[in-house]
Amino acid sequence: MITRKSLLIRYCLKQNQILLASLKMRIKTLFILSMLSISSVAQQEVIGVPTYRPQSPAPLMKTGDTLNLPFKDDFSGAVGFPNTRRWSDAKGYVNNTFPINQPSRGVLTLDGLNEGGRAYDLSHAGSDTLADVVTSAFLDLSTATSPYLNFMYQEGGYGEAPESNDSLVVDFWHVDSARWERVWSVRGGQLQNDEWRWAAISANNPKWLKDGFRFRIGTYGALNGAFDVWNIDYLSMESFRSPQDTVIEDPAVTLPLPSLIDKFTQVPWFHMTNSQFKSSLDLLYRRNGPAPVGGWQLYLRNYNLYQDGSVIDGNVDNTVNSSLDHNQNLTYTLPVATGSINKSVTQETNVTLETWLSGDANAVGIQKNDTIVHTQRFSNVYAFDDGSAERVYGLTQSNSYILYRFQPLLSDTVKGFQMYFGEAGANQSRSPFQIVVFNFQNNAPGTIRYLSDSIYYPQYAGAQNQFYSYELDTSGLYINGTVYIGVKQLSTVPLTIGLDRNTDSLNQIIYGDGVNWFPSLEKNSHLMMRPYFKYHPTDISVREWDEVERAVIYPNPSNGIFRVKLNEWTSANLSVLDLSGRIYWSDEIQNGEEIDLSSLDSGVYLCRLVNGSEVYSLKIIIQN
């Protein structure tokens, strides 16, 4: 079937000659193919675009009330659905893993998957129908003056990029005629996948200046999967704007925090004593906007370190960091006292690092995107991936092997593998495979150490980023050094193993027929395939590293009297701290309970919520 993506074909001849050819074709199918031919035996890598993104049930909409300007959303809240107070539908996907060079953490991704995470129409590959559409709440523009809708957009990112027959569009709701009217559009194929561009759309027309106005942003693209991806950030609709008002002033963190340990994103708790914990992490941030005289005075070394919900270390910065390097990605080396982590635990444990910008960041821009949280889980698995699948991976040759190199920190017994399979077009749940472990020999797979007698089949995820455990058909396999681990694909129907594309790869994926081995063309990707040790996991679902919005404070800012809406818990322990870490109030609260802290001085405070081993923090501004 002809599709629109590039076909890269590599022919390797067994004689000492290698012929490398690249053919560009316009194609429109579910896969981007790369074919490797060895004599008469062809091995073909298949990098698939997911047609299903497991999601939690869509939330109930809460946008019955009409909102006033300004209307702003930088999508730095919950991972998953757009904020139900601003948007009247649950389409689009809020995340921090699909964008590249995002100006702040969190974007809205629009593609061909619906609010249930499934393809709108597996049979529809054309670009003649609206795919994802997000619709604002009702807005009162009757008293607005020169209102403009502004946002930043990106084509593709780590997702599948749109082309010239795809488009991003904006419609305004005409209150009097009760119909949508197209006011702006842009075709795909104009930007590199890491570029961002501003859109500025005027609503300064009497037909829009009404109570009951709405706008919607939609995409025209393929309906059969996560194709034609557009990322949106820094969206606002405000009065007194112009086409030139495309400048944001906002210091913000950007990328997720990296792992606290070298080489891995997870290690078993019983191997923690041999883990190489980092003494510092790279905090990625930006100073968005024009540089003021002297630069913003930011404090960057702020963090709290928790283990199973208890604070074990922290720091509040008092050293000014000023810079005139604006509108570019910046890195701050954040010292973290990981030596305070208890590594001699007797059960599974979670370590959470919370870090934030302060100083001028408290007075400029959006406060929510100044804070980022990373929770590192120590269960019984080793992992290299971050838990998010931007693509899926398989081969079209039967009896082929998909492997990566692995060395545990301590010699131990492997009990099985956790694997994430993503849907990509036709159902591949009957594509059989075996689990295999090769000995390490001369920097390549040697002899087979273990090949399961059991035949396994893919189990598709039923929840967000859910892994399934495949237990070995032996009591366990002792690993005491470097090996190659993976699967033997028994069918010509490609497996659809999750592929993480935004975590730097330390272990190259390789594939072959058992004699001839070849590096994958996906050089900076990880297979979502995790060996587990000692016992069978009881909890096999994981969240993305992006912080989930577990609570909301409203109103915020407030006069000190506010409520806390708990999105995932019925109760929690709440502590209110100033930015130096001093606790002013602490108690257990119930969902929706009113808190009266009107006696506190005006300022910015941290609200720390603890439920079991989970910690969530957010800021509140008190204005007395």
**Lookup: tokens for 232:** 């949106």
Percent of the chain residues past pLDDT 70, beyond the cut = 85
Cβ within 8 Å of residue 548, ≥6 positions away:
78, 79, 80, 568
Looking at 2.60.120, 3.30.70, 2.60.40, 1.10.3470, the CATH number of the domain 391-533 comes to: 2.60.120
| Structure confidence at residue 466 as a pLDDT band (50, 70, 90) | confident
10 Å Cβ neighbour count for 596? 11
Least confident interval from 4-8, 292-296, 561-565, 569-573:
4-8
pLDDT at residue 315, as a whole number:
92
d(CA 72, CA 86) in angstroms, rounded, equals: 8
Instruction: Let me know if the fold of 67-246 is the same as that of 391-533.
Output: yes
Question: What per-residue confidence (pLDDT) applies to 579?
Answer: 65
Q: Nearest CA to 287 among 248, 316, 255, 256?
A: 248
- 590 exposure class (CB count in 10 Å sphere: 0-12, 13-18, 19+): exposed
Tell me the mean pLDDT in the region 555-576: 87
Mean pLDDT to the nearest integer, 279-296: 91
| pLDDT, average across residues 188-201 | 96
Whether the per-residue pLDDT at 349 is higher than 70: the answer is yes
Domain 551-624 sits in CATH at: 2.60.40.3080
**Maximum average pLDDT range among 268-277, 311-320, 535-544, 583-592:** 268-277
Weakest mean pLDDT among 4-18, 392-406, 498-512 = 4-18
The domain 67-246 having CATH identifier 2.60.120.260: the answer here is yes
Tell whether pTM > 0.85: no
Which tokens in the block code for residue 20? 């490398």
* Residue 174 in this model has a pLDDT that exceeds 80: yes
Domain ranges of the chain: 8-48, 67-246, 391-533, 551-624
The number of residues making up the chain comes to 624
| 3-class DSSP state of 362 | helix
Question: Over the chain, what is the mean pLDDT?
Answer: 84
- CA-CA distance, 619 to 624, in Å (whole number)? 16
Among 313, 320, 358, residue whose Cα is nearest residue 335 = 313
Decide which of 532 and 543 is more confident: 532
**Backbone torsions φ then ψ of 17, nearest 5 degrees:** -115, 140
The mean per-residue pLDDT over the stretch 128-150 comes to: 95
